[in-house]
Amino acid sequence: MKLVYQVKGEKTPVDGVSFWSNGNPAIGITLRHHRLDNFVFTLFHELGHIYKHLVNNDTAEFIDLEMKNEEEEYKNSVEEKQANHFAQNGLINYEDWNKFKKNLPQNNNDAAMMAFAKQVKIHPSIVRGRVCFALNNFRSFTSISNDIN
């Protein structure tokens, strides 16, 4: 498998792409948002495309754009939903997440997110990203670092 990191081009709303390259699956990723949770989710999303859609189709390719720029049909396609599901459940176990999210938005605080991250053995910024996605609020204050160094 090939993994390519590319600096995001100006006015290019691409997070990731998966495709075949000389007989090998390949993933290209940008750091469009400069957030650890977005980078890791995009990586797992593209791995989901490879695992679910490219393994038996050597001509397919998937480009993941900023949500508001994607065509409704594409972002609601079975393939996109499967790749999102693969990423979400690959990062945080489905059963663990469902138990935690039952108490949202009360669990939308640093202490609860950090405790859950420790319990499921994942970086707290990934939990925070999942909480923000579930609540559709990415602007909440937090002391959890989401920096990529």
What are the structural domain ranges in the chain? 1-91, 92-149
Provide the residue count of the chain. 149
CATH number at 1-91 = 1.10.10
Q: Which residues contact 28 (CB under 8 A, 6 or more apart)?
A: 4, 5, 6, 16, 17, 18, 19
pTM for the model: 0.83
Is 27 in a helix, a strand, or coil? strand
Q: Which residues contact 120 (CB under 8 A, 6 or more apart)?
A: 92, 93, 96, 127
**80-110, pLDDT tens digit by residue?**
899 999 999 999 999 999 999 999 888 889 9
Tokens of 62: 């998937």
